[in-house]
Amino acid sequence: MQGRTMEFEKVKDGDKLTYKIKGRLDTATAPELAADLNLDGVKELVFDMEEVDYVFSAGLRVFLQAQKSINANGGTMKLINVQTSVKEVFNIVGFTGIMDIE
């Protein structure tokens, strides 16, 4: 587990923005994603979590911030292909109630 532990690809299609994330969102890697997130004019934000093994609190903060921003834009945010272990973390902190998680 040396070197970079998180990577992502993003696709912007009009006001729809899709992130495909790989690896783990931890204290070290989450700020990268946070820095990249520019939600100006985005109405539909999608995170494809298929290849995310771990999401730590730093990652959760990014998602919470994103949700707040998109709510302010009047848009929607969606997390898709979330692994069971990751979903459990979302569940523990009560994010399943405020986010659209599949």
Partner 1 sequence: MISWWKKWFSRQSLTFRLSISILTSVFICGVGLLFFTAQYYLPKVRQRMDDFAGFKLQNEIKNISAVVNETQDATLTMKNTLIELQTTEVTLFRHLLQSALKTLNYDESDTSHAWIYVFPDGNVKTGTLYSAIIDKGEFIFTKHEVDDFYRIYPWFKKVPKEEKFFWSEPYRDEEIAGKPWVASNLLPFKFVGSDEFNGLVAISVDLQKLKGEINNNTDELYGQSLLISNDGLYVSHPNPDIELKKTIYDLAKMYNLPELNVAGFKLKDGISGSIEMKNSSVFGKPVIFFYAPIPDLNWGMCMVFSMDDFFLPFKEFHIKAVGAMLLFLLVLFVFISWICHRSTKPLLDLSKIALQYGDGDFSGKLPESKSDDEIGIMTEAFHKMRDNLLAHIEMVKTAAIDAQKNQSELEIARNIQQSALPVNFPCHGVFEVCAYMKPARHVGGDFYDFFFVGEDKFAVLVADVSGKGIPAALFMMTAKALIKNTAKSGMEVAKVFTLVNNELCEGNITGMFVTAFLAVLDLKNGVLEYVNAGHNPPFIYDESGYHMMEVKRNMVLGGLDNVQYASEKLQMRKGQRIFLYTDGVSEAQNKSGEFYGEERLRKSLEQDMQSTRHTISCVQKDVSDFADGAEQSDDITMLELLYCGLEEDLLVVKAEISETAKVLQTVSADMEAKGVSPEGQSKIMVACEEIFSNVAQYAYKDGGMVRIRSTVAYGKYLLRFIDNGLAYNPLEKPDPDISSKAEDRDIGGLGIFIVKQMMNEVNYERIDEQNILTVGVKL
- Residues near partner 1 (CB under 8 A) are 1-2, 5, 26-28, 54, 56-58, 60-61, 64-65, 67-68, 71, 85, 89, 92-94, 97-99
Token representation of residue 10: 């993003």
CB of 27 to partner 1, least distance (A): 4
CB of 100 to partner 1, least distance (A): 11
Token representation of residue 78: 């969606």
CB of 102 to partner 1, least distance (A): 17
Quick check: helix, strand or coil at residue 56? coil
Q: Which is nearer to partner 1, 14 or 101 (CB)?
A: 101
* Of 81, 95, 87, 23, residue with least CA distance to 52: 23
Distance of CA 80 to the CA centre of its chain: 9
Q: Which is nearer to partner 1, 80 or 99 (CB)?
A: 99
Do residues 31 and 37 make contact, with C-beta atoms less than 8 angstroms apart?
no
